[in-house]
Chain A
Amino acid sequence: MNATRWMFLIPILPLAGAMLNGFVGRRLPRSLVALVACGGPIASFCLAVLWFFELRSSGDELVNWLGDWFALAGLDVPFGFRLDNLSAVMAVMITGVGSLIHVYSVGYMSKDAGYARYFTYLNLFMGSMLILVLADNIVLLFLGWEGVGLCSYLLIGFWYEDEANARAGKKAFIVNRIGDFGFLLGILLIYVTHGTFDLRQINTDAAGGVVSASGLAISDVAKLWIPLLLFIGATGKSAQIPLHVWLPDAMAGPTPVSALIHAATMVTSGVYMVARLGAVYSAAPSVMLVVAVIGVVTALVAGFIAMSQYDIKKVLAYSTVSQLGYMFLAAGLGAYGIAIFHLVTHAFFKGLLFLGAGAVIHSLHHEQDMRRMGGLRKELPVTFALMLIGTLAIAGCPLLAGFYSKDAILEQAMEKNLILWAIGAATAVLTSFYMFRLLAMTFLGERRGAGAHAGDHAPGGHHDDHHAHAGPVKEAPAVMLAPMAVLAGLSICGGIVFHDLPAFVDSAHVAAHGVLGALVSPSGLLGTVFFLGGAWAAWFFFVKSPATREAVASRNPAGRVLWRFSHGKLFVDELYDALVVRPLDVLSQIFYLLVDRLLIDVVLVSGTSFCARVVGSTLRLLQTGRVPTYAGWLVGGAVVLLIVIFMVLNGR
């Protein structure tokens, strides 16, 4: 049975849910809205799993051609979906994690007024993301790419009544636009160079170095600039330096959104795109180096910033940026399979961590500042246990998911470039440190700031905070804990179960070790050391001896400078403010005064009316109302006409 022609259902089902909830959701009961919203992604998940196994058994990619979208000169852009190993893995991951987070949202958003609106956006996001990964041509991919960007914007500014949230949404959208401009240029260059938009064809051409349609060799310029321009798009979408500034601010959205869009799926689409066009990147070693360097520097810098943030979601946001840096490091080293491996395991444990943070925030009635937390392990034992699993997984505890994927990346780096490896290794220590710091500040010690209540909002706090702060802290409902438990299970065994994922996604990948071999490999042993070192440091500074931390951070001059830079997020926002935003403000002020006020308002608008008035008041004098005057004009006109006629006749 040729069921693949129904493959378009995978993205369409969530989109249908979005339509339904978007148009009539407000009039439906909440339970029905939740059912529709969760039903679409879950059904997509079932379909994706079904076709995933069919793909695995048959080994043939599945294609679904729906028809032409539009035609350019000599080139048709189709609506076509292709399920190959890479997109199948992505589709299953997105629908799986997405479904879990939809279920979680049912609990998290239960009291929100914009219930239907929220699920409309979330379903729309799922549909766009699935279009992105299933697209068989880069234009359709770009459609999904922009769609997820739009949903990201809508969801970051979901509580738009608060000015700060709306600003964060705008920031994300604008920064993404900068990247997308590069992406669009890349697409145009692909069109000019390759004459096709088909992703498979582009890869084949790039690998052969020849455009198959024309038989011409791909120029060095195109070889260099196509991947570079597309990578600019990826830095925007995946929050890499220098366009990483939007992701931490994106935490203004509801926490499940942070988990789904800004940790598990959308931000990884840059990595997916690089892996999807792997051959194009492999053909340009210098761009590969750029990708790897940007990735590893981002990983280090974000990890460094994450060390000193107080907002629980900001820590996780910078952690996400850092982990995305790892993925780009892997991709830049040519290990696309490993990049996707880390992408998938990261989706598990970062999704879990965000959902855990959401559960904490939910229980504390929208408190996000870790300085006012502490000691929560007693009140929230289940959340604590799940968060501990997530932390162990991301920090690289042996046998857990993050250990395998991160170890694979560092091993690649160790083989190919020791400098990159050293930076990546340092980041591994930082990762372990900031995650255990988060855990310690939130769950260990004693509850701080129990008195810091009433109207005291954390930065980026929500407007819908009707609850009294003093209410008892109690565990999140089961509908929220269950998805977290599933993700926790995946975080524990994901590394082992999906150990052959890199080879599945990337046929060029050669597995270095088996599941147990990785534990005793040099890289694995070092990874364990990094994990333990970071964890020990966090334990020492935040549990054992906070006084030492104070001494290092505030009295030691070097420590103080480092702390300031870390806490100030390296002042990148301030730098962009001074370099881009302010000059733009000044420029627009100048244009406002010169062009708008002077040229348009005064010269054009007032000037036109002034001219009309002057001409009118002058011509008005001709209208004496006396018949002889008019008769005089008439005769004068006749005389002039006669003279003209005679002159013309004489001129003949």
Chain B
Amino acid sequence: MASEMQLPAHEESLALREQFDTAAQQKDASTLGMWIFLITEIMFFGGLFLAYTVYRSMYPGVFAVASTSINVYWGAANTVVLLTSSLTMVLAVRAAQLGQKRLIVLFLILTLILGGVFLGVKAKEWYDKYEEHHIPGPAFHLEGLNPDNVVSQGHAQLFFSLYFAMTGLHAFHMVIGAGLLLYLIFEARKGRYTAEYNTPVDLIGLYWHFVDIIWIFLFPLLYLIDRHLGK
């Protein structure tokens, strides 16, 4: 067919799919697709942010107290870890654009390690919550509430429900991101990504930054409420 004659001879090496005319068109389409996907992700997290906003404005005092029971130092350390992972991700993208195969692999592995550190710290924080009976359910109890009655304990549970839902969904996205990084590392080692073709590194980089930004919002909303109130 005539349309196939326009395809370049080294179709496989440029990975140009048959529905596209040029590599630039394909890259544009993939990039736009990723941005739209990230918009759907914003709407997805948006439901949780809405629920958080509603309940925090309904029960500001209890939320502030509940917030202080989370360890802000672990949270701050994790923020630094995640921001650094964004840096290494950008460096990987840059290396891909320059076609530096060994540097791509190196920076991707660094990103993966930092992501792993983040998840490890997160798991430790969750375990602490378990030890302190801060998991919503029959055994739930939070110290320091005034008045400390069934009603405010209920509201405090609501805070932790949101805490686990939001950080849980975020961690789930980190795990997906780690899987994607592993895929990139394998492919990069095979020399798949060159100065001409590096779209997957670029797009998974976008995804990684997005997950990072979600955390940038989660950290103050969940860890720093008490400090917001000016105490």
**Do these two chains really belong together in a complex?**
no
Interface, chain A (partner B; CB < 8 A): none
Interface, chain B (partner A; CB < 8 A): none
